[in-house]
Amino acid sequence: MLTEGQVVVHERLGAEDQRLRRLVLKGPMALTAKAGQFVAIQVQDLALSSFDPLLRRPISIAGISQERDEITLLYRIVGRGTEILARAMCGDQLSVMGPLGNGFSLPEEGELWLVAGGIGVFPLYALAQSALARGLKVRLFWGGENQSFLESAGLSSWQALGIPNYLSTLDGSLGQKGLVTEQVQERLSQATSGGKISVATCGPKKMMQAVAELCVNFGVPVEVSLEERMGCAVGACLGCVCTLRDEMGNLIHKKVCQDGPVFRGKEVVWDETC
């Protein structure tokens, strides 16, 4: 869907990291959006240029309000495109393609564990909201550099959900010192065999690989949200191809923008992907 979204909120997400932004868009894309999908935003108009930057910027959907026809996007300024996007002001109309991709699937019952590394937590918030609305028990495992980062990246919003938060920081300033995967492994080893657990993860590649391998070892289904540089965002340019293994063990190639960004963790061939 190619449409327009009106900027209704655009603000810094936290005081510590000046590059984090919260952007709320009002438009018809909210009606069909689901957790794990993304939109591709054109920033040319903001740059006052007809062709530069040419490519749209893909950003994961972090929140969905179908009642208000709004989606929330959380992003970090990392290059020229997002620097230009940061100029958008309330009332501006942005050209939006989406929602794109397949999104996460929700289990019918049991617990949903969300495992995030850094700003990989952003697309998991919409999933948490959907899971809680279905009556599922949700747990968050989130790792970051330090307390300041976690607070800047929206920790208070997660705490407001009232779900268990298992936090890890590299310097030990908040939660457990170390990697978030260490807490996941510890909790999986303590989980009773009668409990039905599903996992969704987003973050750095090595973290997601470790989470996927843990889940396979414990017999827990896991979905991963892959990140790759995208050109067209609709599957035409083949710039975001990843490698998977099918049910027969054959290597196959899929497009992150169209077939993903969410895949089953056991399918991903990590050494050849992204």
239 carries a ligand binding annotation: no
219 carries a ligand binding annotation: no
Adjacent-strand bridge partners of 165: 140
Looking up tokens 């950003």, which residue turns up? 59
Alpha helices for the chain (secondary structure H): 80-85, 122-134, 147-152, 155-160, 180-190, 205-218
Looking up tokens 């989470």, which residue turns up? 211
58 carries a ligand binding annotation: yes
237 carries a ligand binding annotation: yes
59 carries a ligand binding annotation: yes
242 carries a ligand binding annotation: no
107 carries a ligand binding annotation: no
Number of helices (H), then strands (E), in the chain: 6, 15
CA dihedral 34, 130, 242, 198 (to 10 degrees): -160
Query: Computed from CA positions of residues 194, 117, 154, 11, in that sequence, does the dihedral angle turn out positive or negative?
Result: negative
Looking up tokens 């007809």, which residue turns up? 50
55/115 Cα distance (integer angstroms): 30
- Residues 163 and 132 sit within 8 Å (Cβ to Cβ): yes
CA 192 from centre of chain = 28
151/166 Cα distance (integer angstroms): 14
261 carries a ligand binding annotation: no
Give whole-number Cα distances, 178 to 105, 169, 188, 212, in Å: 29, 6, 17, 18
232 carries a ligand binding annotation: yes
75 carries a ligand binding annotation: yes
Query: Computed from CA positions of residues 157, 226, 71, 21, in that sequence, does the dihedral angle turn out positive or negative?
Result: positive
Adjacent-strand bridge partners of 200: 114, 223
Adjacent-strand bridge partners of 142: 116, 167
139 carries a ligand binding annotation: no
Binding residues for [2Fe-2S] cluster: 232, 237, 240, 257
Binding residues: 57-60, 74-76, 81-82, 232, 237, 240, 257
Binding residues for FAD: 57-60, 74-76, 81-82
